[in-house]
Amino acid sequence: MTQSLIGREVYHSIKNGDREHKKRLSKKSLAFFSELGSS
C-alpha cells in the first residue's frame, strides 16, 4: 500500500513537470525502495 502510494506521488510529480519536487521525491523513494529490497 505504501509502495503504490509513493509510486503515485512520483507519477503525479513527473506528470505535473515539477522538477524540484520530482528530484526530492525520487531521492526519497529510491532510498525507500532500496531499503525494501534489502530487507
Contacts of 21 (CB under 8 A, 6+ apart): 13
Q: Say if residue 6 is exposed, middle or buried (CB neighbours under 10 Å; 0-12, 13-18, 19+).
A: middle
Q: By residue range, what is the domain housing residue 13?
A: 2-38
Separation of alpha carbons 16 and 39, rounded Å: 32
- Residues 1-39: tens digit of each pLDDT: 577 887 888 777 777 766 766 677 788 888 887 887 776
Buried b (16+ CB within 10 A) or exposed e, 15-24: eeeeeeebee
Taking the model in full, what pTM does it have?
0.33
* Number of domains into which the chain is organized: 1
